[in-house]
Structure 1
């Protein structure tokens, strides 16, 4: 197949709070896949205003992509647990088979907290060999298999994949009723720690193909500065899986400046005031870290705060 002429569906999910990361992710995709313009994006959305949708689309070069906005009712997932830094939109991927006709046999699902750094054509062309999905082993897999205490409630499966990047055979997904089985698991275990990812691992146990790890380079434990890697050796997709997101100044990330270079080319670029506030927030985070390390400094700080609070009451 001529990769210069393919146009395949790429699915993402987003709410208003994640509009900036969505725009940044889409920007990285179109920049790395110029031979496949116009790209075909389908965004599962909840609560996105018309203005936000325009800003996301205007963040992309003209003619580089089309965006289909697909409304999702999150009431379906209200009773299911998510971590504090994870939106209920994470469950939206369950509806993917419903939004495409039978003529669409394969889609690529991508989380919105990623950067795409390479052409996705070779990922798209990966043979699934009869498996339902292609995915990358999660960084926690070895700890889960060792049954570490912090992960004791994660379901035991043969291999545990990260659900942030999924190459999906829609026909097999429907035939095996993966969404239904995942929801059945969550109805039994609504507080499963990694929510939809746990459920999908149960539903797809033994039915998924391992993809090259470069298609989902996760920053759980590896603190690798992308700027230190020559472009030819960088991963195809970088996934900021943990809560220290590169756009969150209160939780410093080694790749914040790398990420911001992509963000700066969207309609959500930081203003000078944003940058100043982020810098101050970063200093405050460092100060809190110092106070935690040295109890006597923390005691002094608490006394100062107490005195200020008392003065305000007087």
Structure 2
């Protein structure tokens, strides 16, 4: 059995930080092989009390939690463009995940915090990347010509309508190739240059830069919670998160989320009003408006 270290990166603000608890516990329970896990958290305002409780839910001899302030990982020469969406700026942190891990690390797994892992994470870790910089699963919209979530200017960029489009919530990355190829800078440039076409925040930029240059993962490693599957390896709550009482995806996945959460200090957590979700979206838009000013 390999005793190498699996490097995982997530990012969150305090609003969605509770999702990390269920995700981390799901990884912990389902990881059966001998690899140690370095669990890197890009902290965009997570409270000290939350951090302390989160560190209590895993055996630190098996999983090491490493914290990084979001403001410290973006290279000084890069400025994140501000869009008009309700996505928090935290969403852009995945673009800089290769700058979080140690220089000698040759692979990392980036996960959105609105996921739970139902299989041994080492199986995803051991997917061979070959000469690819990134592996990902195809998005709900499938191809770049998707009206609500693709690349609206795909033809202008020289892409065919059937070019596959990936979801950026689960990424297997070669960080050395990523940095050598300047992927972070290219994604940010794409978001700035094509600003009027940007949909789904940084996912647009990643698909523009990596079009036809990514390895396709088995969809079970990024299974969307509104679809049925008897045995997904990773569930992604793309729509309303299970922490809200307005959750509208498959109930079985919500049950799984709360099964993991019940094994953490948040075992008595009850779903909160969907109104808070809308308030947060409004807050994100206002925050971006002020940043533009």
Shorter-chain TM-score range = 0.7 to 0.9
Cα distance change of structure 1 residues 152 and 113 upon mapping to structure 2, 3 Å threshold = closer
Q: Which runs of 5+ in 2 are unaligned?
A: 276-293
1:153 CA displacement: 5.6
Which residue matches 1:15?
13
Structure 1 segment 1-314 matched on structure 2, within 5 A: 2-3=1-2, 5-36=3-34, 38-61=36-59, 63-73=61-71, 79-81=81-83, 83-84=85-86, 86-142=87-143, 144-145=144-145, 147-148=146-147, 150-151=148-149, 154=152, 156=154, 158-190=163-195, 192-219=198-225, 222=227, 224=228, 229=230, 234-242=231-239, 244-253=240-249, 254=251, 255-271=253-269, 274=270
Structure 1 Cα separation of the partners of residues 26 and 153 of structure 2: 33
Structure 1 Cα separation of the partners of residues 29 and 153 of structure 2: 38
Offset from partner CA, 1:252-275 (integer Å, 9 cap, x none): 43232221111111112235xx36
Cα distance change of structure 1 residues 270 and 189 upon mapping to structure 2, 3 Å threshold = farther
Cα distance change of structure 1 residues 61 and 152 upon mapping to structure 2, 3 Å threshold = closer
Structure 2 Cα separation of the partners of residues 269 and 193 of structure 1: 36
Structure 2 Cα separation of the partners of residues 186 and 15 of structure 1: 22
Which residue matches 2:286?
none
1:14 CA displacement: 1.1
1:31 CA displacement: 0.7
SS in 2 for 1:55: helix
Structure 2 Cα separation of the partners of residues 170 and 213 of structure 1: 22
Structure 2 Cα separation of the partners of residues 56 and 201 of structure 1: 33
Cα distance change of structure 1 residues 269 and 209 upon mapping to structure 2, 3 Å threshold = same
Q: What TM-score do the two structures reach when normalised by structure 1?
A: 0.75
Q: Which runs of 5+ in 1 are unaligned?
A: 285-314
Please tell me the root mean square deviation across aligned C-alpha atoms, in Å. 2.5
Q: What TM-score do the two structures reach when normalised by structure 2?
A: 0.80
Cα distance change of structure 1 residues 129 and 262 upon mapping to structure 2, 3 Å threshold = same
More relative contact order in 1 or in 2 (CA 8 Å, sep 6+)?
2
Structure 2 Cα separation of the partners of residues 252 and 135 of structure 1: 25
Structure 1 Cα separation of the partners of residues 223 and 246 of structure 2: 23
Structure 2 Cα separation of the partners of residues 155 and 59 of structure 1: 45
1:77 CA displacement: 6.1
Q: Which moved more, 1:101-110 or 1:8-17?
A: 101-110
Structure 1 or 2, whichever has the larger Rg, is 1
SS in 1 for 2:33: helix
Cα distance change of structure 1 residues 249 and 49 upon mapping to structure 2, 3 Å threshold = same
C-alpha contact (below 8 Å) 2:8/2:40 kept by paired residues: yes
1:7 CA displacement: 1.5
